[in-house]
Structure formats: C-alpha cells, structure tokens
Structure 1
C-alpha cells in the first residue's frame, strides 16, 4: 500500500495496464469509428471538461432512471447481460483497454440494448465528475490482479479509487466484487470497509443474476476458486 495521501483533485494520475492489445479486426475498427461515439457520455475527459464541472446523469439516458456502474467491463459480457436483464436501469461501463471496448460495442449492437453508456478510459475520470450519490449499484468483476506484492497499490481496491466510488454511490447502494485471487479477496475485505462500505455477503456461489465471463471461465479451467463479495455503501 502506498503512504501517499489521496488527492481528490489530481492534476495528473498514473495509469497502469494496457490500453491496446492485438490488432483489431476490421469489424471492430468499424464499431469504434461508427458506433462508439453516440454511446460515450460527454464532459468526462479533461479536454472536454477542464474545470471538472459535475455532469448531469439524467442527460446520459434522457431521464432520471437509476444508474449502475461497471468498472473494467473486460469483453462486456456481464454489462450487456445486465442491461438486457434490467432495461429500466442505465448502465455506464468504464474500460481503458480499447480491444475490450470494441468487443463490448459489438455485443451491444448484437443484443440491441439501448440502456448503456461507455467511457473508454479510466473510471477515476468519470467519478471525478459524477455528482454525489448518483450511482445505485457498482460492479468490479475480475479486476486486474496485479499479483506481485509491490504492485498491490495499483489495484482498484485502494483509497484512490474507493473513496471516489463511495462519494458517487447512493446510501445503501450495493457494490459487488468478484475475483479468483486470494490476496485480492483479503485486500478487498480490508480496504473496502475502511472506505465506508459494510460487508453484506461473502460467497463461493455467484449472484442469481450473474453471467459467467471469459475471465471466470479461465479461472475455473485453471482450477482457481472464485469469490463473490457484496458490500453496502453506508
């Protein structure tokens, strides 16, 4: 863990991880060029919103429906499944890995869901401009494990991410975390309550509305045991 204090208004922040992977297929390039733009919420980036003025969540979906947030949606299977299962909700997904973004946009087109918005970047940039208490539920599914001890400070379950998440979540809102890494479970159970969340459940069986992702399937193939944690914002 880093001893550096949390800065709620950073002018610069480090980013760890990949933004690009293997070469995109022609269809994926088309998704990014033609379909991603209308899905993106405005006023998130420093270029679009240098003063970090809070955005109006109702403007994203055109009404005051409850909004859910998925941090690091990977290939987008879970996000599209939740959008189809709960069409009355609006779901914002954040993912800086552009290959995953392209996969998600393709799944959105195939499923025909319309209650989704995509921020192809760091979740912290979005949380900077979301109003207090504007998120009704949040998901962190199989986040980057950063297995080396010296890299644990890069994980999402650190104050740099959890304190902004606590601010933007509504009182009583649920925060779900799924991981197959034992040290990630331990760090989650230690750090998330410190940020103002209460542990509600710790289980080896997924939630009833869960959709297994490719990352979960990889964990099961490699005989790693998933853990599913639910917290409430207090």
Structure 2
C-alpha cells in the first residue's frame, strides 16, 4: 500500500470557494428514536473525505473505499424519507448505494428504514450532493436517481433546480459512459426543463412519459402528488 502514488487532484472537479445552498436542513423536532439513529448509526454509514472540513483540498476519493470493493456505485440525489433507496438496495445487493440528503429529518428516517430492513450496501452523506460530486473521480457512477426534487416553482428560482448546468455538469463528469440517469417529478415544468437541459450536459434521452420503471418504488412525495391530483412523469437518460 505504501507504494501507491498519491491521488491525482486533476481527477476531481474544481469546487468554488463559496457555494449557495437553498432548502431546509432541519424540520420538526426529532423523536428520541430518530436521535438514536443519528448518534448510533450514521457514523458507520457516512463516507469519509467528502465534506469540505474533512477534505479541504478536494482530493478525489477512491470509490472502492465506499464499500470495500469495486462494485458499481449508484447515487440517489436527495433521498427524502429513504423509501426508494432502501427498497432498491434490498433488490440490488450487488450494487453500492450512496444517498445524499441535507435535510437531517430525512436522514433520520432513512436510518430507521435501513435498520429495519437490515440492508448493508448503503452509504449516507447528510449534505449537498455537490460535495460528493466534487471528489468523485470521473466515471465513478453507474446509475443516478433524482426523485421528486424540490420544484422551486417560482420562475426566479428555477436556477436553483438540480436540472441546471451547474449541477448537471458535475454529475455528467462523475458518471461513466452508458450510465443511466433517472428523473421522476410531478411538476410538468420541471420535467420540461429536465428534457431541455439534461441532454445539453452530455446525456441522451431514452424514454419519457407517465409509465414508471419496472423496478420503481413509489415515494411519500409521489403518493402526496397523486392525492392532490398531480400526474407523475418519468424520464430516463443515458450518459454519452
């Protein structure tokens, strides 16, 4: 191990000195059990070397360090309450799932689901997905999911959506050629923007419409959309 060369910093994406974050980090008061999940479980599931404090030089991490082997890495960007992520991890034990979610209440919910399901192929970063994309080597990801992201409905806030060049560029760099990127939303204008901007970032559109994927796991946000009369839409993109 001592003979390994130092990590090549050129493999990491440049990170701006200062970056805006929009959205909630905390919600209602956590229950005692949820606080226990955070204190007892998060440390073992949280990947090292991603946060600015741990890795100020933004040195690329070794993807194999996430799960101890060279399994394919799948990313969920903003996993909400974790329903989709835990179910997919149980269905695909040969893949390694890393979820990024800055909303600590959602992180606590996910940890509870992980404990209940007993799945072990998950890694949890309680922060901005861009922090992870900063330090992943190019082509490290085999699949990515963007399920019911914050819609930012006001026009002046559309630049905050994930489906913009500032977010999609780093994602495209971190995804391997042929890797799949899935987007699910109940906001028609969000899907319109995704269909326009994702291909410009280096992806090909494979499918779009009201039919979900064969292995789709409905989330609490989708169920809320259906109750309120909004129509879910799904799109599949492939990294060129």
Q: Tell me how far apart the structure 2 counterparts of residues 70 and 50 of structure 1 sit (CA, whole Å).
A: 24
- Pairing 1:46-125 to 2, within 5 Å after superposition: 46-125=52-131
Distance 2:89 2:209 in 1: 24
Paired residue for 2:132, among 107, 112, 126? 126
Q: Could you tell me how far apart the structure 2 residues matched to 1:205 and 1:85 are?
A: 20
Equivalence for 2:21: 15
Q: TM-score, normalised by structure 1?
A: 0.96
Equivalent position SS for 2:74: strand
Task: Report the Cα offset of residue 58 of structure 1.
Answer: 0.4
* 1:152 corresponds to 2:168: no
The 5 A counterparts of 1:174-193 are 174-193=180-199
Match of 1:37 among 33, 40, 43: 43
SS in 2 for 1:136: strand
Alignment deviations for residues 128-175 of structure 1 (CA, whole Å, 9 cap, x no partner): 000100000000000000000000000000111100000000000000
Determine helix, strand or coil for the equivalent of 1:177: strand
Partner Cα distance (2:229, 2:22) in 1:
27
Q: What is the CA-CA distance between 1:8 and the residue it aligns to?
A: 3.9
Q: Which residue of 1 aligns with 2:5?
A: none
Equivalent residue, structure 1, for 2:236: 230
**SS in structure 1 opposite 2:27?**
coil
Q: C-alpha separation between the residues in 1 aligned to 2:182 and 2:128?
A: 19
The aligned counterpart of 1:197 is 203
Partner of 1:24: 30
In 1: Cα distance, 2:213 partner to 2:42 partner: 30
Separation (CA, whole Å) in 2 of partners of 1:79 and 1:9: 27
Structure 1 residue 117: deviation in Å? 0.1
What residue in structure 2 maps to residue 211 of structure 1? 217
Q: Which residue of 1 aligns with 2:6?
A: none
**Residue 117 of structure 1 aligns to a residue in which SS?**
strand
1:205 Cα shift?
A: 1.4
Give the structure-2-normalised TM-score. Answer: 0.94
Distance in 1 separating the partners of 2:101 and 2:56: 21
How many Å separate the matches in 1 of 2:213 and 2:195? 18
Moved over 6 A (4+): none
